[in-house]
Structure formats: structure tokens, C-alpha cells
Chain A
Amino acid sequence: MSKHLKIALVDDDIPNTEILRDFLIRNGYSHVDKYHDGETFLDSLDRFDERAVVLDFDLSGGGEINGLEVLEALKERSPQTHVIFFSGQDSLEVAVESLKNGADDYIVKSNAAFALVKTSLDKVYDLQVLRSNEKRNQRISWSLALGWLVTLVGVAIFVAN
């Protein structure tokens, strides 16, 4: 089943990013962009960016800024964006800092990491589906309420006449 969640992978590790992208596509995520430095990724952002972001901490192989700086700039421009930190740094300090700055999850790169990233993205996807259902239900409720109102006004006019 294709999952309608757009994803951006930001990591200077080219082979692992390519493999993770293929892995996610095989698991139903059809729209996966990749960036090898933070600057190019931030340039690609727009105000209503709906992508979930999988972000590495050490981006020194690609650009000048690290993952925490990307996270900070991203949250300023697009606070609703979900961010999963995906890092080779098993540092508590970086993990705490990323979560304090709005990351939804922190995953240390390991053999099981691709599956963990997918699980974390599945949660973001489920949340997105839930929100979209809530909005749809809200629209239906408003339509029903409006329908009742119109009917009541019609009945009131009929009775008055």
C-alpha cells in the first residue's frame, strides 16, 4: 500500500542514504527526497512543507552546518514539520538537545536502524492520517449542522406563512 507521506532524508553518508531511500520506497513511501548537506535542504523548504525529515547530526562531509543548526532553522520556518534525528552520535547531549529543539525521535545508526526509522515514520504517517480524518469528520459535522439549520429555517418560514 502506498503511503502518502513525503519524506526528506538529510545525510552526507551517500550509500546509507541511498539504501535507506530504497528501503522506505519498498515499504510503501513513494515520495522520498535526499539531500547531502543542510544548506541545500533548507533552500528547498517552503512555508507549508509537509515532508517528514530524517536528519543526520554530523553533516560535515557535505556542508558547513550540523543537524542541530538545520533543526533550529527548520523549526523557525516550518514548525509543524516532523523531524527524526538519525545519527551516528550515541551522545546523550546531542539527543537531549535535538528533542528539546523539537525533534520527534532520536535514532542511533545501527544494524536495526533502517527498520527503526521506518517505524518512526509509520507513527508520523498514522498521526497524519488521524489528523486528516479528524478534519474530514469536522467538515462532515459542520455540513450536517448547516443542513439542519437550513431545514429549521425552511420549516420556520413554512410555519410563519
Chain B
Amino acid sequence: MDGRDAVSSASTAMEIIDRLSAGDPEKKKYYIRLFLDTLEPELVNLRAADVGSDQERIRSILHKLKSQVQTIGAADAHAMMSAHEQTIKSGGGISQSELDTTCDRLSTLIQNLQDLLK
């Protein structure tokens, strides 16, 4: 993801959270914290997962995260997570590099949300 995509993704998240919070600044902060409370620990869990033995755990985390990234407007991250979840469900596995790319995308999203709190 280049810098322009990150800016665009951040503005989408901002617009969506603005809409969801009906313009209430306190509510907006509250929602962002709620998302961060889930996304941050799950990013740690994903980074710690072993693609050799933790595919089901990875699937479960991706399933949980995909709805949340979709709500904040990260369609690309949602598509990536859905595709990986489907691959694991159908008996395949995702590679270390695919997991790393997903973690990096999630990390950018978290950074965007943290920036919105400033």
C-alpha cells in the first residue's frame, strides 16, 4: 500500500466513523477506541501465529477481524482476509508472506485509527 492509499483509507475510515457516530465527537473517539481494543491484540496474535500449526487459529482471527475492517471502510483488507479465511476453510493454508502482508495492512489501519484520535 502506498502513501496515497493510506491517506485515502484513513479518510474513508474517518468518514464512516463520522457517519456511524452521527457527528458526535465523543462517540467517534469511543468507537475508534473500541476498534483499537480488538484490532491491536489480534494483530499481536496474528504476528505470533505459526503458519505451520496455527491455520485454524489464523482463520478464526481473520473471521473476527474482517467484519470490523469492513465497517471502517477498508474494503481491500476485508477482501484479503475473506480470501485467506476461505482458503483455510477449504483445506488449504496461507503462507508466511501472505500472513505478513495481512499483518502489515492491519498495522496501517491501526495507525490510521490512532491518528484519528489525535
Q: A22-B27, A60-B60 are in contact. Are A16 and B22 (CB under 8 A)?
A: no
Interface string of A47-81 (1 = CB under 8 A from B): 00000000000101100000000000000000000
Within 8 A of B (CB), among A1-54: 12-16, 18-19, 22-23, 26
* A interface residues, how many (CB within 8 angstroms): 17
Find chain A residues with CB under 8 A from B34 CB: 14-15, 18
Interface residue? B44 (CB, 8 A): no
Find chain A residues with CB under 8 A from B37 CB: 14-15
Closest residue of chain A to B32, judged by CB? A15
Find chain B residues with CB under 8 A from A109 CB: 67, 70
Closest residue of chain A to B61, judged by CB? A61
Total of A-B residue pairs, C-beta within 8 Å: 42
Closest residue of chain B to A90, judged by CB? B82
Find chain A residues with CB under 8 A from B22 CB: 26
* Measured CA separation A88–B62 after assembly (Å): 11
Within 8 A of A (CB), among B37-76: 37-38, 60, 63-64, 66-68, 70-71, 73
Q: In the bound complex, do residue B38 and residue A15 qualify as a contact, i.e. CB atoms below 8 Å apart?
A: yes
Q: A22-B27, A23-B20, A26-B22 are in contact. Are A16 and B60 (CB under 8 A)?
A: no
Find chain A residues with CB under 8 A from B67 CB: 13, 16, 88, 109
Most buried by A among B20, B34, B60: B20
Find chain B residues with CB under 8 A from A60 CB: 60
* Measured CA separation A14–B21 after assembly (Å): 15
Tell me the smallest distance from the CB of B50 to a CB of chain A, in Å. 19
- List 9 additional contacts besides A13-B38, A15-B35; criterion CB under 8 Å: A13-B64, A14-B34, A14-B38, A15-B68, A16-B68, A16-B71, A19-B31, A23-B20, A88-B66
Q: Hey, which bits of chain B sit against chain A, CB under 8 A?
A: 20-22, 27, 31, 34-35, 37-38, 60, 63-64, 66-68, 70-71, 73
Report, nearest first, the 6 A-B pairs whose CB atoms are least far apart.
Answer: A15-B34, A109-B67, A88-B67, A15-B35, A19-B20, A61-B64
21 A-B residue pairs with CB within 8 Å:
A13-B67, A13-B68, A14-B34, A14-B37, A15-B35, A15-B37, A16-B67, A16-B68, A16-B71, A18-B34, A19-B20, A19-B71, A23-B20, A58-B63, A58-B64, A88-B63, A88-B66, A109-B67, A109-B70, A110-B70, A111-B71
